[in-house]
Amino acid sequence: MARPLRAWRELVKNLFRKHVTGQYPHTKPVIDKNYRAKILFDANKCIGCNICVRNCPADAIKIIQVNQDEKPTEVDGKTIPAKRKFKCVIDLAKCVYCGQCTDGCPVKALSSSQDFELAHFNREALIDEMKHPYETESKKK
């Protein structure tokens, strides 16, 4: 037969203990500096090598060139090719946040942020298209 006083003793003992769980929405958790969350992209550093695309186990990254129609320039009789510019599209619903894309990038164009609040009601909102500044400038013209 179970001892009813044993349950009461456990209840009273736990009433005065410190809470184990955090009050998440009201108090933000302390996040370690090495925490891997949403991926950030620096378009000015990207060289278009696609190592991040090949390293991604979830196939969540696409690197797209945005200035394919830009013509080379002539300076002092020399033809200088247009600098290639890229944008990055990351499907955050597929991403497993392993960090292989950030570790493999030779120029560190990809990095991890500490933004972990990524919940949405539709999958389209989880496709993060990080445009190159060139794209927004060319659309203004």
The pLDDT-based confidence of 57 (bands split at 50, 70, 90) is very high
Whether residue 87 lies inside any domain: the answer is yes
Average pLDDT rounded to a whole number, residues 120-132: 89
Residue 108, domain member (yes or no): yes
Structural domain including 103 reads 34-68+78-140
Report residue 40's pLDDT band, with 50, 70 and 90 as the boundaries: very high
Which has the closest alpha carbon to 63: 79, 81, 39, 80?
39
Residue 8 domain flag: no
Measured between its terminal Cα atoms, the distance across the chain in Å is: 83
Residue 21's CB is within 10 A of a number of other CB atoms, namely 5
What pLDDT sits at residue 15?
Answer: 86
Q: Is 128 left (phi over 0), alpha (psi -120 to 50) or beta?
A: beta
Say which residues have a Cβ less than 8 Å from residue 53's Cβ, sequence separation at least 6: 61, 62, 63
pLDDT computed for residue 103 by the predictor: 95
Average pLDDT of every residue of the chain: 86
Task: Tell me if 73 is assigned to some domain.
Answer: no
How high is the pLDDT of residue 139?
Answer: 58
135 versus 74: which is more confidently predicted? 74
CATH number, domain at 125?
3.30.70.3270
Max alpha carbon distance in the chain (Å)? 98
pLDDT tens, 80-118?
A: 677 788 999 999 999 999 999 999 999 999 999 998 888
Note whether residue 39 is domain-resident: yes
Residue 120 forms part of a structural domain = yes
Domain count, the chain: 1
Q: What is the pLDDT of residue 133?
A: 78
Q: What is the pLDDT of residues 112-121, one digit of tens each?
A: 999 888 888 9
